[in-house]
Structure 1
Amino acid sequence: MTASQDTTRRIAIVTGGSRGLGRNTIVNLARRGVGSIFTYHSNEAEARAAADAVAAEGAKAVAIQLDTGDAAAFDGFVGQVRQALASLGAERFDYLVNNAGTSHHTPIAETTEAQVDALYNVHFKGVFFLTQKLLPLINDGGRIINLSSGLTRFAMPGSAPYAAMKGAIEVLTRYFAKEFAARGITANTVAPGAIATDFSGGMVRDNPEVNKRVAEFTALGRVGVPDDIGPMIASLLAEENRWVNGQRIEVSGGMML
């Protein structure tokens, strides 16, 4: 069996896969012959379009609605994953990409307890317990990628609780790498810089002033785009990067160097 034939049987679970970086990731995985089960929060039409984009690359994708901030929904989600795997001719999956997230831009003095709780539920608690629930279904030798942010390395006012949650994820990822190593499962963090998507209401993509400012403090002289991130994640999941483990990899074009 060739490497490409083996790859076509691999399956990824990607949270927040209907748009932005998640959608770019499942499309780039499809180009490598990897099928996907991906989550979306509420926009079913967008999820169908993402599945169609995967199909256009010759792979299969199954969309499942999930609020990754609602840990009580995870048992039901795992049941849906089992059904989706069966529809893809598999019992287990190979890659988990914890990508789903929400933004926050409020100074510390004005941040509410409810805002912090919401960020915690999605960006830390959700990642922790969804990964825990999916562990019985991931193949030995699998890969986990958690999405972080350049904001854990440099500070931007208004991003404190969001960045702190991502910092916690970077620590958690190292513990994933240590505790899951007995099963040959690797875990790494990918930390994008500012990317032109609809994240944060499209702030980087749609606001010329913000776009220009980000480009000015990025070494490569422009803001990032989804095609800077999705292919990198797909390659990190591939066999040629099997020895990368417990690492934080920033993909920012050299922001704030």
Structure 2
Amino acid sequence: MSDTDLRNIEALDAHESDRIAVVTGASRGIGAAIAGRLAADGYTVAVHYRQDSAAAAGVVEKIIAAGGAAFSFAADLAAPDTGTAFWAAYDAAAGSLRDVPVRVLVNNAGIALHGTIEEFGAEDFIRQQQINTTAPFLIIQAALPRLADGGRIVNISSGATRVALPDIIGYTMTKGAIDALTLPLAQHLGSRGITVNAVVPATIDTDMNASWLRGNPDLIADIAAQNALGRIGEPDDVADVVGLLASHDARWVTGQVIDATGGYRL
């Protein structure tokens, strides 16, 4: 690709027209916040979910009510043919938009199963690996022909990769792999003007964490005290960083693993 082609890509990026963003695991929590932020920035957002169609529909309705555009589609990231099945489901839901190049792909979906190495069963390990690591790899691989030159890939990692948390050892391994994927992928896709970055949150107040976090003021205070900014993170704290990386302003940022933990255990 020539320098002129890359400048044309940047001009299109700055114009912010005809843009599709795909967000995995976007029916709640961080994914829903990312979908809302990208919609506010002018993207038509494809809201991926696994089984909670009502929650995904709620995200879409909220985006449309705010003047944005969105649609939802279901795909099981635990399926062995994740890459092809994911994009087949996307195409079925996108209608005429299926032919519009995808400008932003956010790999957010994931599961966090607890257990030390002695407690972690092989079946759970394989399932978590499939959803958190194998699925993003295969989704990106299958997406390459449809990704717009000058586009963005953003992978959601975890602050668990920065500290020792033995009770989520399997989860930490999967997110470490996401960090490791980001650097070579950025190099590989750089010739197309595609940036690839990872965003690293720590504990976020989401529905996924509600069972052990909400209603536990002592635990909330303890976690907040471990953050330099002195509070628990909110989904929008992460979504705004993703929004920046998806924007024209971040066109010269690639291959980075960006801490968005509020200063977790500095």
Amino acid at match of 1:250: D
- 8 Å Cα contact 1:14-1:98 kept in structure 2: yes
Residue by residue, what CA displacement relative to the aligned partner does 1:147-192 show, whole Å, maximum 9, x if unpaired?
1000101112301110111011101111110111121111000000
| Structure 2 residue aligned with 1:150 | 159
Amino acid at match of 1:101: G
- 8 Å Cα contact 1:16-1:38 kept in structure 2: yes
Amino acid at match of 1:67: D
| Structure 1 residue aligned with 2:5 | none
| Structure 1 residue aligned with 2:220 | 211
Amino acid at match of 2:181: L
- Please give the root-mean-square deviation of Cα atoms over the aligned residues, in Å: 1.9
Q: Which piece of structure 1 moves more, 196-205 or 151-160?
A: 196-205
Structure 1 position 172 matched with structure 2 position 181: yes
Distance 1:11 1:195, change over 3 A: same
**How far did residue 113 of structure 1 move?**
0.8
| Structure 2 residue aligned with 1:198 | 207
Structure 1 position 47 matched with structure 2 position 40: no
| Structure 2 residue aligned with 1:249 | 258
Q: Distance in 2 between matches of 1:108 and 1:73?
A: 27
**How far did residue 47 of structure 1 move?**
0.7
**How far did residue 210 of structure 1 move?**
2.2
Q: Distance in 2 between matches of 1:86 and 1:124?
A: 29
**How far did residue 83 of structure 1 move?**
4.2
Between the aligned residues of both structures, percent identity stands at 35
Counterpart pick for 1:129 among 138, 141, 148: 138
Structure 1 position 76 matched with structure 2 position 94: no
- 8 Å Cα contact 1:85-1:92 kept in structure 2: no
Distance 1:116 1:177, change over 3 A: same
Q: Secondary structure at the match of 2:205?
A: coil
Write out aligned runs for 1:84-123 (5 A). Answer: 84-88=93-97, 90-123=99-132
Q: Which piece of structure 1 moves more, 200-209 or 35-44?
A: 200-209
Amino acid at match of 1:170: D
Q: Secondary structure at the match of 1:114?
A: helix
- 8 Å Cα contact 1:25-1:234 kept in structure 2: yes
Amino acid at match of 1:212: A
- 8 Å Cα contact 2:91-2:98 kept in structure 1: no
| Structure 1 residue aligned with 2:246 | 237
Amino acid at match of 1:256: R
| Structure 1 residue aligned with 2:19 | 10
Distance 1:206 1:179, change over 3 A: farther
Write out aligned runs for 1:13-52 (5 A). Answer: 13-52=22-61
**How far did residue 207 of structure 1 move?**
2.9
Amino acid at match of 2:249: E
Structure 1 runs not aligned, ≥5 long: none
Number of residue pairs aligned between Structure 1 and Structure 2:
256
Residue by residue, what CA displacement relative to the aligned partner does 1:180-209 show, whole Å, maximum 9, x if unpaired?
112111100000011000124543344323
- 8 Å Cα contact 1:195-1:204 kept in structure 2: no
Distance 1:254 1:51, change over 3 A: same
Distance 1:147 1:133, change over 3 A: same
Q: Distance in 2 between matches of 1:82 and 1:6?
A: 25
